[in-house]
Structure 1
């Protein structure tokens, strides 16, 4: 969520974290499925609850029609009111979980020129109801989310090592190669040649910047991709193993269990 004008306070209802104040243009990234409260001040009582895309007044009654000011817009519309924009993403990806798990509750991205321009365009589109509107809004929301995550990573002291390593010419290129072709039978020597370093220099530099050796990182990345395939597709264990770079399903199953604590078939069953 973000405040487009005025200020707001956001409180996670099931957390001991203190309420966070948002100035105009700030973006709050809230992960998880817990309830949270948005207000002008933490002491302000509840006036409306949003659940399942509907607005309810205290007591459980649906909000009256006068709350709807425009398409996708509601409130009282009084002069000087704080304007907020809220969107929700349903993510079902172990790949995404690796990044989201690093975000504090909540992660606040201060207002800036790059996110501000995207928010202005999104706000202008929000109040319209024209052909193709959903496609436009979905892509603008994706843009705002990526810009916000990138801005947070650039300023955060807790940014993951692999993310910082992308800024290194040689190690960043090695990571891009691993991400692009995870099933390839990579060796440290081949990766070193690809990025123009000796084997020893590459291995030492990769480990120092990423926090683990190249093949250890590759194995973890393969297991992450495999977990998503097991949950989101009906591919056989053997097919998933091949996609993850294993010719032998038994070797893949053993590696997956070491990484995830359960067998591939158990993971698939639990995920569904």
Structure 2
């Protein structure tokens, strides 16, 4: 499994919520209590997305564009950045704001259901939006969010547009297994958007992601993720690349930004942290799972990485 696939699998979004909004200008919705990752896409018409706490300039979405909001930032989706919010949405709760009667009239369409998971007025000239809210899991989710700025925009392209069209077609259905279909389609949109953004001009991505395209460092990263508990040595990784130990170590460090075993330790600490949070395995069992022969050595490395002991981490995250 390649590194990005491994990270996405371990940080797998859960409790995903997908909604379609169909609204005529002027309109604006403020979302508070946002999840770690939000996907906003314009299907028809234009919209703006602005973060309400990060000092980031608003972005404008054209049809087919996707905005990725990395981090639990309260944000506003509107027809224009200057439109004041007419409602604040926190989870499934909506609070009208502004001039009572005017706000109620303006938001009547948003309050009216047009079908499963679809809200708005449905009249000609309306903007059609999709919004997906994703929960991410553990320290793997933290690593995934480290790939993104607070607000990233992926311009429309054929592959992402095809996935969006499929998600839009399914969001209004209500058939057996529909939630599972929507979760997987949202995953597809997310993966395609992440891949497109990371490969786009000006994207600031982690060094390890840039290293994936390198035949030497990329293959070593794949091996480390495929078998994190193996007792890797630099010599073994170098032999697999057909290079001397010194040449391989220099190549890996120049591409990834840290030595191979340092990277491996960091990844093991990510895996260990999530095992402590998600399972009832003993510290010794977690240590063996991530490649440590005894609990003491694992605990020392874990406290160095996370600032607390494995037991304290488990209590805190539970």
Q: Give the shorter-chain TM-score range.
A: over 0.9
> In structure 2, what is the Cα distance between the partners aligned to 1:129 and 1:175?
42
Is residue 2:285 matched to residue 1:239? yes
Residue of 241, 262, 265 corresponding to 1:216: 262
Number of corresponding residues: 271
Asked whether the equivalents of residues 234 and 260 of structure 2 are also in contact (C-alpha less than 8 Å), the reply is: yes
> In structure 2, what is the Cα distance between the partners aligned to 1:150 and 1:93?
21
Secondary structure of the corresponding residue to residue 89 of structure 2: strand
Secondary structure of the corresponding residue to residue 204 of structure 2: coil
Asked whether the equivalents of residues 50 and 77 of structure 2 are also in contact (C-alpha less than 8 Å), the reply is: yes
- Larger relative CO (CA 8 A, sep 6+): 1 or 2? 2
Aligned to 1:153: 198
| Shift in Å, 1:110 | 1.1
Is residue 2:163 matched to residue 1:118? yes
- Greater Cα offset, 180-189 or 19-28: 19-28
Of Structure 1 and Structure 2, the greater strand share is in 2
TM-score, normalised by the number of residues in structure 1? 0.94
Residue of 140, 148, 162 corresponding to 1:103: 148
Aligned to 2:122: 77
> In structure 1, what is the Cα distance between the partners aligned to 2:93 and 2:172?
17
| Structure 2 gap ranges (5+) | 1-39
Is residue 2:46 matched to residue 1:7? yes
| Aligned counterparts, 1:8-87, within 5 A | 8-58=47-97, 67-87=112-132
Residue of 210, 217, 230 corresponding to 1:171: 217
TM-score, normalised by the number of residues in structure 2? 0.81
Name segments (4+ residues, structure 1) moved above 4 Å: 63-66
Asked whether the equivalents of residues 9 and 21 of structure 1 are also in contact (C-alpha less than 8 Å), the reply is: yes
Aligned to 1:250: 296
Asked whether the equivalents of residues 229 and 292 of structure 2 are also in contact (C-alpha less than 8 Å), the reply is: yes
Asked whether the equivalents of residues 183 and 246 of structure 1 are also in contact (C-alpha less than 8 Å), the reply is: yes
> In structure 1, what is the Cα distance between the partners aligned to 2:84 and 2:112?
18
